[in-house]
Structure 1
Amino acid sequence: MTSPIQVATIAALSSDRCCWKEQTLDAGLPHSRRFNRAYRRVASVRARTLKDLQCKARLILLTMEEPDSMEASLARDVLAFTGGQP
């Protein structure tokens, strides 16, 4: 089952890719707006599962300006975590 966070993350990643493929800034503007809406939706919903938390971590890594920051390091740790299952 796909949660709302996962759906919004997929939409954000897709619109980010589409935005960078456009020739001009004006052509990429609708994709940028779609990314912002999806990003706000992900930020406003609480993560209830590990998969939701990992989706949030992917968006954090995508939008981080400094890859060596504490937030980026924590996001990488969350993505590497498997949930402690044997």
Structure 2
Amino acid sequence: MDSYTNRLRYDVACLISDLKNLETFQLLRQPHLEKHGLELLDVVDIILEVEKKYGVEITDDLPVFTLDDFAHIIEMQQYRQAS
């Protein structure tokens, strides 16, 4: 994983930590959202905040279960927008 992807993972972990009152370090150690008790509505809240912060669109058909999923989606959409 490159440094930009790692930075995105950290930023998204901080965002989730702020939204859902979780420890950033714990999210980074265990990137699966369900392991932290987050349910579908929690993930929808996170998706909306990620979309707002990064100017991306996360459609219903894109799986988002981990910090890596969010980082990958953001990175891919930003790459497409830059092209």
Q: Decide: shared fold, TM above 0.5.
A: no
**TM-score normalized with structure 1 length:** 0.27
> Relative contact order (C-alpha < 8 Å, sep 6+): which is higher?
2
**TM-score normalized with structure 2 length:** 0.27
Q: Which structure has the larger Rg over C-alpha atoms?
A: 1
